[in-house]
A and B are shown apart, each in its own frame.
Chain A
Amino acid sequence: MKISAVLRSPYALILPAIALCLIFSVAPTAMSVRDSFRSVDYVSGADKFIGLANYRSIFTDDVFLRAFKNSVLFMFGVTAFSVPFGVAAALFLDKNGFIRNFTQSVIFTPHIVSFIAVATLWMFMMDPRYGILNYILGLLGLPPLRWLMDSSTSLLSLAIVAVWKTTGFNALIVIAALQKIPAELYESARLDRSTPARTFFHITLPTLSPILVFLVTASMISAFGTFDIVKFMTEGGPRNSSNLMVYWIYRTGFLHFQIGRAMAGAVILILFLAVVSAVNLALAGRRAHYQ
């Protein structure tokens, strides 16, 4: 009786998820936080508490500061393009019809391609000597760029790849949201002789705003956490011009094995993302009242 009561209880249903979460997310995170205050070296066997020394070290490290700055820039840059582009494409492609459905599918395709394939493809296209992008620039009468090889364009090049990969996903989410807007709203707007601009700002945008907040938050978090294309396309170079936080953590922790410093960076990353999410949620709460 007691046994079946436990089994019937909701706790039995959530137990596997909770257990996995504790083991594979909470515990590693806790260990990361712990290590950020310690000097850990698996080769020499050292493991001692050193207070805030790791944090002091990374905040006086030009490479870390550069990576942090790059990540913030990258986060805003990618979001500023991938979300508006996604919305614009969605408005353009809303409604059914063969060509629209086809185009919707096409712009979503980059999302399902692995980052490795995307990275190799764009490296091929961005090759300074043989790449097609420089050829296109030439056709437009523009001087060739050195894309990933140049410290002034490397971050931009990665951002182009990220925007290309994520815009279609954003568009699809917005299209889904648009199709949930009741047709009567538009009908009544039409009867009121509302202009398309008025309709957009008074009906479409407010209805979309929760999904937009979601998209902006998700886009910012994922852009800030970009890793694969950095590792594969530039390794953060030249001269750390395209180094992002996560790659910095990876390199410091997994290639240089300065575990304490890497974990200090990870803690900063988690805190920063928590702040970004909180700010977005707060803004979302505000927006919700307008409706």
Chain B
Amino acid sequence: MRKSFVLLTAVIILALSFLAWRFSKSPDSAPVVDSSAETGRDGETVEVLFWNVFADDTSTGEFLARASEAFMKENPGVKITVNGQGGYDAIAERLEAAAAAGNLPTMAVIEETFLGRFHPIVAELSRYLPDAVIENYQPGLLASGYIGDGLYAVPFNRSMPVLFYNKTKFEAAGINSPPATWDEFRETAEAMSDRENGVRGAALCWDTDAWIFESVLYSWGGDILDETNKKVVFNDGGKAAETVRFFQEMEENGTLFSPYNHQEDPWITVATEVLQGRACMMLGSNGMYSLYSQWMADAGYELGIAMQPSFGDTPSVATGAGNIVVFGGAREEQKAAAGKFLEFLARDEYAGEYAALTGYLPVTKTAANSEKLRAWLSEKPEYQAVIEQMMYAHRRPFTKNWKNMYGVIVEELEACLSDKRADAAEAMESAAAACQKIMDENPD
């Protein structure tokens, strides 16, 4: 009896003190990395938790599993755990949640633009990486990892939009080179379309983060934000509307396939159309090159890859995809181990193998020139175009609000290519206004 009374009192006191703690707790202090599970004493194993974008059974997931295995053999004091999170949005959302809860991983892959969001909690990397390694990264890919003079992210699975086309079908139709400009794109799509048999010249997915739209807009001479990173300019002078209208017209003419009339994932729908020969070309990420080649080969076609079309002679494309960050709240030995692992991944054998395995860009200069990758490239001469395209990389929107903004943009873009087509001018205008509101209310 006495015991349970003590217990009851304890519960009351606990409840009250808990409430008091909750009400007094504010997130003023920087979020900390969850080190409770990783309290290795001196000489014991340092645990590094690494969040990867792709699921564990994808080629990236399997590559990282192999690489971390090899790394741990070289560094017995470190244990790396790789966890696939299933998408750039998903990983960003989980990092936000983890920051709120104070249980961030040690390191993570984020879409390059998300440094704009997470820079308050990530570590400066030059302390953990030798200069030689930093200098070896491709400068074009490293640029988005800098804030001022500080380096906060390094490239891992990086890509650009490219044009994928069905080489077999193109050759059968007597078209020997893929379209280099948007006018040629439209004409080729017209030529390749076979309306009676439901074959369309092209297919288009804007991507879940409007990445394809962004890149196409750059090639149109537009931009998302102005130089100050404060003003939304993508529809200034009706630029975005003009871009969207171009594809809308193609869709109306029956030369462009839109995935937004289907319930399935837009990327898989578009890729399936192209793969099965019901559409003849699409914009996509070069990181999918190996996978799509395989799919197309299975369906009896050869996949072609080329630069994203442009206006006139100066192409302009978005770079994109994954950079790796290390979180500042991790313990010093964890950060050091993470740095060592980054160094390991930047070795020619791994950076080169990863590029050849997937089709992502080789992230270091020496890997790009390594024998292995040169051999791979010699089998795929077309891929050279992708590497050249790196020169034309356009600056990307750098704001913590980008995710919320592209959510709005994608919503409108999808409407413009679905059955009940939205008015492009109106849709882009309202998207621009909504994005400006987001930026004004949450200044960086």
Q: Report whether B12 and A258 are in contact in the complex, using a CB–CB cutoff of 8 Å.
A: no
Least distance between A13 CB and chain B CB atoms (Å): 10
Q: How far is the CB of B67 from chain A (nearest CB, A)?
A: 29
Residues of A within 8 A of B18 (CB): 23, 27
Q: Are B31 and A27 in contact (CB-based, < 8 A)?
A: no
Contact code string A71-89 (vs B, CB < 8 Å = 1, else 0) = 0000000000000000000
Contact of A22 (CB < 8 Å), options: B19, B419, B437: B19
Give which listed residue, B1, B5, B120, B408, contacts A45 with CB less than 8 A: B120
Chain A 56-69 near chain B by CB (<8 Å), digits 1 or 0? 01001111000000
Q: Measured between alpha carbons, how far is A238 from B2 in the docked complex, in Å? A: 62
The minimal Cβ–Cβ distance linking A162 to chain B, given in whole angstroms, is 19
Instruction: Name A33-64 residues within 8 Å CB distance of B.
Output: 34, 40-45, 47, 53, 57, 60-63
Whether the pair A256, B118 counts as a contact (CB closer than 8 A) is: no
Structural contact, B5 and A238, CB atoms closer than 8 A: no
Q: Mark A247-291, 1 if CB is under 8 A from B, else 0.
A: 000000011111000000000000000000000000000000000
Q: Which residues of A contact B261 (CB under 8 A)?
A: 128, 146, 149
Contact: B31 with A43, CB < 8 Å?
yes
Is A23 a contact partner of B263 (Cβ separation < 8 A)? no
In-complex Cβ contact of A23 among B19, B28, B408, B414 (8 A): B19
Q: Are B441 and A257 in contact (CB under 8 A)?
A: no
Contacts of B414 in A (CB 8 A): 237-239
Q: Does A7 contact B (CB under 8 A)?
A: yes
In the complex, residue of chain B having the shortest beta-carbon distance to the beta carbon of A44: B120
B114 to chain A, nearest CB (A): 10
Number of interface residues of B (CB under 8 A): 50
Task: Name which residue of chain A comes closest to B9, CB basis.
Answer: A6
Report the separation of the CA atoms of residues A34 and B240 in the bound assembly, to the nearest whole angstrom: 40
Closest 7 CB pairs of A and B: A42-B100, A257-B96, A19-B15, A42-B99, A44-B120, A47-B26, A239-B415
B19: chain A residues at CB < 8 Å are 22-23, 27
Q: Distance (Å) between the CB of A137 and the closest chain B CB?
A: 16
CB <8 Å contact, B411 and A45 = no
Contact pick for B419, options A30, A43, A150, CB 8 Å: A150
Check if A19 sits within 8 Å of B96, measured CB to CB.
no
A selection of 8 A-B contacts at a CB cut-off of 8 Å is A23-B19, A27-B23, A42-B31, A60-B437, A149-B261, A152-B420, A239-B422, A255-B93
Whether the pair A254, B93 counts as a contact (CB closer than 8 A) is yes
Q: How far is the CA of A248 from the CA of B38 in the complex (A)?
A: 36
Which residues of A lie under 8 Å from residue B29 when comparing CB positions?
Answer: 45
Contact between A146 and B15, CB atoms less than 8 A apart: no
CB-defined interface of A128-171 with B at 8 Å, one 1/0 digit per residue? Answer: 11000000000000000010111110000000000000000000
Find the A residue at minimum CB distance from B442.
A258
Cα separation A216 to B137 with both chains bound (whole Å): 64
Q: How far is the CA of A127 from the CA of B120 in the complex (A)?
A: 44
Are A7 and B27 in contact, with the CB atoms below 8 A?
no
In the complex, A126 Cα to B262 Cα: how many Å? 11
Q: Which chain B residues lie closer than 8 Å to A175 at the CB level?
A: none
Bound: A253/B56 CA distance, A: 28
Chain B proximity of A158: nearest CB distance (Å): 14
A129 vs B259: C-alpha distance when bound (angstroms): 12
- Indicate whether A240 reaches chain B with its CB closer than 8 angstroms: yes
Which A residues fall within an 8 A CB radius of B?
3-4, 6-7, 12, 15-16, 19, 22-23, 27, 30-31, 34, 40-45, 47, 53, 57, 60-63, 123, 126-129, 146, 148-152, 237-240, 254-258
Q: Chain A residues near B441 (CB, 8 Å)?
A: 53, 57
For B100, the closest partner residue in chain A by CB is: A42
Provide the bound-state CA to CA distance between A83 and B355, in Å: 59
Task: Tell me if B418 and A238 are in contact (CB < 8 A).
Answer: yes
B412 at the interface (CB under 8 A from A): yes
Pick the contact of A62 from B99, B262, B434 — CB < 8 Å?
A: B434
**Known pairs A42-B31, A42-B100, A57-B441; A31 contacts B12 (CB<8 A):** no
Q: From residue 6 to 37 of chain B, which have CB atoms closer than 8 A to chain A?
A: 8, 11-12, 15, 18-19, 22-23, 26-31
Q: Check A22 against B15 for contact (C-beta < 8 Å).
A: yes
For B407, what are the chain A residues with a Cβ–Cβ distance below 8 Å? 256
Closest to B263 in A: A127
Q: Bound state CA distance, A61 and B412, in angstroms?
A: 16
User: Chain A nearest CB: distance from B439 CB in Å?
Assistant: 13
State A122–B16 Cα separation when bound (angstroms): 46
What residues of B have a CB within 8 angstroms of the CB of A151 in the complex? 415, 420
| B404 part of interface (Cβ distance < 8 Å) | yes
For A27, the chain B residues whose CB sits under 8 A away are: 18-19, 22-23
Q: Is the CB of B22 within 8 A of A31?
A: yes
Q: Indicate whether B121 reaches chain A with its CB closer than 8 angstroms.
A: yes
Give the residue of A12, A23, A40, A60 whose beta carbon is less than 8 angstroms from that of B15.
A23
Smallest CB-CB separation from A123: which chain B residue? B263
How far apart sit A12 and B415, CA to CA, in the bound complex (Å)?
59
| Contact (Cβ within 8 A) B28 A47 | yes
Taking CB atoms, residues of chain B closer than 8 Å to A256 are 403-404, 407
> With A127-B263, A151-B415, A238-B418 known to touch, is A43 a contact of B118 (CB < 8 Å)?
yes
Residue in chain B with minimal CB distance to A255: B93
Whether B314 sits at the interface, judged by CB under 8 Å, is no
Is the Cβ of B5 less than 8 Å from the Cβ of A3? Answer: yes
